[in-house]
Structure 1
């Protein structure tokens, strides 16, 4: 794909999807579970793979309302920072697929010791354009590639 072959509509769709991916991370770090849930279709699927070698998800959720406990779980951390990296998007009319990378930092206390857990995450997404032209997650697979936990000194 060269820049001169990208239509304005395609560029706008790609930007809107990237903004959706970034809004997810922003809501997570601001502990805005309701805002995060609003980024998903009503009939969404959300699959979490904690073991990258398994074909079976560790957790599978169906429907927007089922996401609340997962997003609320971020409140167990003192602070998080989700840093989004590269992403790819394939558009197909009112549907799209994508893969995006994220390094998630989770800071919390363990027996008086400040602790940092980092997770390398890949999101495998399916997106759906809504009647108003906006894009939402129709399916999100959260793939944990690796984690690191260690003491953290301020």
Structure 2
């Protein structure tokens, strides 16, 4: 891949994570092709087999609904591999540790999920977009966490 394409696709993954963590539907939708496909593994969809969501609206609505029950989320991107498959297409894999903070028993816990996103990208003019994201779960751990105290009243 050309360096400019590599940077654009790398930033696309970062913008996706940021949009999910900020619950920004408009920005998240802008990162996806109209016919995007999101494949969720059984570990995340509550079924016995992977499920597919198709179309920008369905994907955005589903992703934001799934994170809405958490106090906070943080998707930390790690290494990413990329390869061109055509002038306007690429594929790659990105590692991510997804933190999902929730309340339980008067405290908070973090359901940490080690994810590999297996991605396909499409170029639309000068812009790269996700055309397919398939999530692979490597492992899940659930640990207690301490959240900072809310700021006190201004003096």
Normalised to the residue count of structure 2, the TM-score between the two structures is 0.85
Q: Distance in 2 between matches of 1:81 and 1:152?
A: 13
Range with bigger deviation, 72-81 or 98-107: 72-81
RMSD value, Cα: 1.8
Which of the residues 13, 22, 25 maps onto 1:30? 22
Q: Is the 8 A contact 2:42 2:49 kept in 1?
A: no
Q: Unaligned 5+ residue runs, structure 1?
A: 1-5
Residue 92 of structure 2 is matched in structure 1 by: 98
How does 1:116-135 map onto structure 2 within 5 Å? 116-130=110-124, 132-135=125-128
SS at match of 1:77: coil
| Cα distance per residue 1:106-132 (max 9 Å; x no partner) | 1110232311110000000000000x3
Aligned residue pair count: 142
1:112 matched residue in structure 2: 106
Retained in 2: the 8 A contact 1:50–1:144? no
Distance 1:15 1:50 in 2: 32
SS of residue paired to 1:24: helix
Task: Verify: 1:39 aligned to 2:28, yes or no.
Answer: no
Q: Which runs of 5+ in 2 are unaligned?
A: 148-155
Q: Please give the alpha-carbon distance, in whole angstroms, between the structure 1 residues aligned to 2:40 and 2:53.
A: 9
